[in-house]
Amino acid sequence: MELPIVNHPDYVAKINDDNKFPIKKFGELANYLKEIKIVKDFIIPKPCSFETLNEAHSKDYILKIKEKSLDLLSQKKIGFPLNDSVVRRSYVATGGTVLASKLAINHGLACNTAGGSHHATFNEGAGFCVFNDVAVATRYLQKKGYARRILIVDLDVHQGNGTADIFKDDSSVFTFSMHCKSNYPAKKTKSNLDVELDDNLEDKEYLEILKKYIMYLNEESFDFVFYIAGVDIHHNDRLGKLKISDQGIKKRDQIVIGNFYQKRIPLCGVLGGGYNKDFNKLVELHSMLHKSCAEII
Ligand SMILES: [Zn+2]
């Protein structure tokens, strides 16, 4: 079976080249996945509807994004200029994770080529995240009756503080964040399970810790998993402070995907962060999520 992969050309928003966010990676990743024959045709998402967004974000915040009326300080906190293209991107990338999650229900595995905007809370965006796509898709699946108890495995180097905040009083969603303790955000929000890693951690120890907590999570029952596969844990990342190799990231993805696939729990993979100093390497690292899913399905 071919892995369903969701992508939209509008994931590549028009922002200045001097912005710290490597926005072009979304277009290059799509090209690369075709080039290495992981995908023939992408599945194209629609922009997320207001009704669906409103399950995880306030009406006030959604309208401020839609109308580009968010104050400058809040825009600065996000890190993107709020132009038409960034607004469009925020809607289609969220729609993309919603679509990928539905596809995962039918196929066991599905991926977006964006997503993992885990710093966005109910009322505001932050750290290059406008809408919390995984939180929106989680609520969507539950509302439609596709899943009841959902696990969010967040292995981006930064803590999933926005996701933790959105689900803090919701026992039907389990938030697991394994991140570098000294990385952004300085003030963490409590997830259901936070694993804080020390700077400069390497493959062997990282993978051992991960396996231990996956075993722990296996004692609970879930009927859907979101996996935020941030590659900013890589040793050559500009922002992350861990020292994980290419092979370490590949193994990490295989451990997570293999574990839940074997248990027949549908899994939706999303990109998460990545700010590698080497742009081509960044694209290759992000593609590992899709490659590992394609190999197992
Ligand atoms: Zn990150």
The tens digit of pLDDT for each residue in 224-243 reads 999 999 999 999 999 999 99
Quote the ligand 1 centre to 230 CA distance (angstroms): 6
Quote the ligand 1 centre to 2 CA distance (angstroms): 28
Range of the domain at 150: 21-296
pLDDT tens profile 49-102: 999 999 999 999 999 999 999 999 999 999 999 999 999 999 999 999 999 999
pLDDT tens profile 142-190: 999 999 999 999 999 999 999 999 999 999 999 999 999 999 999 999 9
Across all residues in the chain, what is the average pLDDT? 97
3 is a domain residue: no
Quote the ligand 1 centre to 39 CA distance (angstroms): 25
Contact yes or no for 129/21 (Cβ under 8 A):
no
Quote the ligand 1 centre to 48 CA distance (angstroms): 23
Q: Which CATH number characterizes residue 57's domain? A: 3.40.800.20
8 is a domain residue: no
11 is a domain residue: no
185 is a domain residue: yes
Amino acid letter for position 37: K
Tokens for 21?
């966010």
pLDDT tens profile 123-141: 999 999 999 999 999 999 9
Quote the ligand 1 centre to 195 CA distance (angstroms): 15
Does the pTM surpass 0.95? The reply is: yes
Positions marked catalytic: 119
Quote the ligand 1 centre to 118 CA distance (angstroms): 8
Query: Domain count of the chain?
Result: 1
Average pLDDT, stretch 189-212? 98
272 is a domain residue: yes
Confidence bin at 251 (pLDDT 50/70/90): very high
The 3-state secondary structure of the chain reads: CCCCEECCHHHCCCCCCCCCCCCCHHHHHHHHHHHCCCCCCCECCCCCCHHHHCCCCCHHHHHHHHCCCCCHHHHHHHCCCCCHHHHHHHHHHHHHHHHHHHHHHHHCEEEECCCCCCCCCCCCCECCECCCHHHHHHHHHHHCCCCCCEEEEECCCCCCHHHHHHCCCCCCEEEEEEEECCCCCCCCCCCCEEEEECCCCEHHHHHHHHHHHHHHHCCCCCCEEEEECCCCCECCECCCCCEECHHHHHHHHHHHHHHHHHCCCCEEEECCCCCECCHHHHHHHHHHHHHHHHHHC
221 is a domain residue: yes
| C-alpha dist (Å) from residue 47 to 39, 227, 262 | 22, 21, 32
